[in-house]
Amino acid sequence: MKTIDELLADGVAGKRVFVRADLNVPLDGTTITDDGRIRAVVPTVKALAEAGARVVVASHLGRPKGAPDPAFSLAPAAARLGELLGADVAFATDTVGDSATSTVAALTDGQVAVVENLRFNAGETSKDDAERGAFADQLAALADAYVSDGFGAVHRKHASVFDLPARLPHYAGYLITTEVGVLKKLTEDVKRPYVVVLGGAKVSDKLAVIDQLLGKADRLLIGGGMAYTFLKAKGYEVGKSLLQEDQIPAVLEYMERAEKTGVELVLPVDALVAADFPDLKTKAPANPTTVAADAIPADQEGLDIGPETRKLYASKIADAATVFWNGPMGVFEHPDYAEGTRAVAQALVDSESFSVVGGGDSAAAVRTLGFDENAFGHISTGGGASLEYLEGKTLPGLAALED
């Protein structure tokens, strides 16, 4: 795939360059609670603007139903991008309508505009090729070249990700090239021991990546809500904990495969439990208790890995050469259940490994818990995209950049 450096070398002064970013940031009303994804696209936007391009930035945010919804406006993200660039960023109140057309037409060399949420248009996410293509045609009219830099969306066959590159000269931005380079280190000539830490709520979300990693990783450490399906598969009582009973046969098969192939599959040995899920708004004390993993009371819910599991997982990470981590170990948003996730993050920081934090909630947790991002090898902006790459899937947004 061609890169942004090739585009810059050809000269972009006066050209309209469409940058498909990922500004899908968490919002509390209109307040951005984690601007990591906006900061990730700044190097690409800044390089283009400084070279004299007229930069048109586009992204989705949330899941609006193909129509405008003020709750999902990109206006706060546009304002934050301007702050990070140290320059005014124009904002179009639609995506391909009069506001977008006039806003882009008014740009001068080196200026930046953000158009409104792509998903306010049904064509962006349509499964109908013609409808998606028609929207891509409208987007293409706004630009002379296309730069893909929204890694968190490259696993989606959406108009701005998959169809638009076919209509314009297309290039990979700095974030895309960095993310792909990192993921290759996890799939090609991996330095060992290779440890994978998987958490999050649902084991079904991780089945395909577990299937692939059983042939590649040396150790798999399982935490978060998904761990209780593994514990149930071992015959343990898991009480009111998150459980996907329909996934138990698959989990059993993976546990057997791990044993046969010599992959160390490590499960929690203890857990923090409580009768009720904590209040994440007030952060009121939850008063959890610690129990052995095989002794969770029937009326209790597991909400974090326990202190012995934290020590165990840290020891399994300590000698790693490569670590990939996707998914928190518990309900990290509440201080009483953040220590498991904190322990994994600290173990990555303390190790000499090349560590990759696989986007999504893991990346948010690292920032929420106050870790220095530079202490990790790489913090991905795309959890779903990272997992699908590791699963060996073809990602539409990357395939579209190949010539």
Please report, in range form, the residues annotated as the binding site for (2R)-3-phosphoglycerate.
37, 119, 156
Numbered residues of the known binding site for ATP: 206, 302, 333, 359-362
- Hey, what's the torsion of the CAs at 253, 259, 261, 264, to 10 degrees? 110
Q: State the amino acid at position 333 in one-letter form.
A: E
Numbered residues of the known binding site: 22-24, 37, 60-63, 119, 156, 206, 302, 333, 359-362
> 37, 157, 310, 342: which one is catalytic?
37
Nearest in space to 165 (alpha carbons), one of 58, 82, 267: 58
Active site residue 29: no
**What is the DSSP pairing of strand 54-58 with strand 112-114?**
parallel
Active site residue 173: no
Q: Burial letters for 168-184: b for 16+ Cβ neighbours within 10 Å, e otherwise?
A: bbbbbbbbbbbbbebbe
Q: State the amino acid at position 230 in one-letter form.
A: F
How many beta carbons lie within 10 A of that of residue 98, not counting itself?
A: 10
Count of H-run helices and E-run strands, the chain: 14, 17
The two structure tokens encoding residue 354: 């090349």
Active site residue 20: no
The two structure tokens encoding residue 195: 């440890």
> 123, 224, 360, 382: which one is catalytic?
360
Active site residue 37: yes
> 46, 202, 216, 367: which one is catalytic?
202
Crossing angle between the packed helical segments 360-368 and 339-350, to the nearest 10 degrees: 90
How many beta carbons lie within 10 A of that of residue 49, not counting itself?
A: 20
> 152, 200, 225, 384: which one is catalytic?
384
Q: State the amino acid at position 11 in one-letter form.
A: G
Catalytic machinery residues: 37, 202, 360, 384
